Amino acid sequence: MNKLEIRDLEVCHGLLKAVRGINLNVQAGEVLAIVGANGAGKSTLMRAIAGSHRASQGSITFMGQTLGDLPAHKRVGLGLCLVPEGRRLFPKLTVQENLTVGAQIGRIGYWTVEKIFEVFDNLVKRRHANADTLSGGEQQATAIGRALVANPELVLLDEVSLGLSPAIVDRVYSILPQLRETETTVVLVEQDLGRVMKVSDRIICMLEGRIVLEGATKDLTRDQIIEAYFGLKPNAVEGAET
């Protein structure tokens, strides 16, 4: 079953078309990775799915419901949560308060505020600290926790490893098996191709707002992804020489 269906999606920043005619299905329980160079449109696509940025054309259907202009907080209520690039925590609320806010607008289920403190035990001693005093890793754990306590059906993780040490990134990604267990669908944007190939079931590569490569991770090679990433077309180059 498709949890998410995107048809002919176009998303603009003013006159700039950042997402151009994207068609995409995401199945229940799948981990889909989106890769692509800076400016390829990955974050814009994630924000449009989450309802933080309005699409100018096309449709997004989540669990059979066409979302249209449904605002982001109502999408959270349906089980669609974004962990945005840059985390965007409430800076003057404590870790616990940030998590409680997430729990309030979401759904009841496996993930609770206490479960988050169990999984991200680095947050326990920071429970009552304001978000703006946290380290990068603590902020990221809180941002992910805030999305998970809403018990999403689908969680969008936008560059959650940005600026974190490899050990902290390992900790962040250590939640993926639990997400699989709870049949939570994951769409993630990640720059580290090695990690993408390790954790994802399927990969799409974006270039200039379009999907230029899509396939099951097991069927794709690193070279294929890198070629798509940089828009290299070896055949076209050969053709130009003849």
Q: Which positions touch ligand ATP (CB under 6 A)?
A: 13, 16, 18, 36, 38-44
**First vs last C-alpha separation in the chain:** 47
Q: Which is nearer to ligand ATP, 44 or 184 (CB)?
A: 44
Concatenating the DSSP letter of every residue in 12-28 gives: EETTEEEEEEEEEEEET
Compute the least distance from the CB of residue 77 to ligand ATP, in Å: 25
Say if CB 170 and CB 160 are below 8 A apart.
Answer: no
Say if CB 74 and CB 51 are below 8 A apart.
Answer: yes
Q: Which is nearer to ligand ATP, 153 or 190 (CB)?
A: 190
CA distances from 231 to 40, 62, 189, 207, 210 (A): 11, 30, 18, 7, 11
Compute the least distance from the CB of residue 64 to ligand ATP, in Å: 27
Sequence-distant (≥ 6) Cβ neighbours of residue 173 within 8 angstroms: 161, 195, 199
The DSSP H or E segment spanning 166 is helix 166-173
Helices (H), 8-93: 42-50, 72-78
Compute the least distance from the CB of residue 196 to ligand ATP, in Å: 13
Compute the least distance from the CB of residue 213 to ligand ATP, in Å: 14
Compute the least distance from the CB of residue 33 to ligand ATP, in Å: 13
Q: Which is nearer to ligand ATP, 78 or 207 (CB)?
A: 207
Q: Which is nearer to ligand ATP, 18 or 156 (CB)?
A: 18
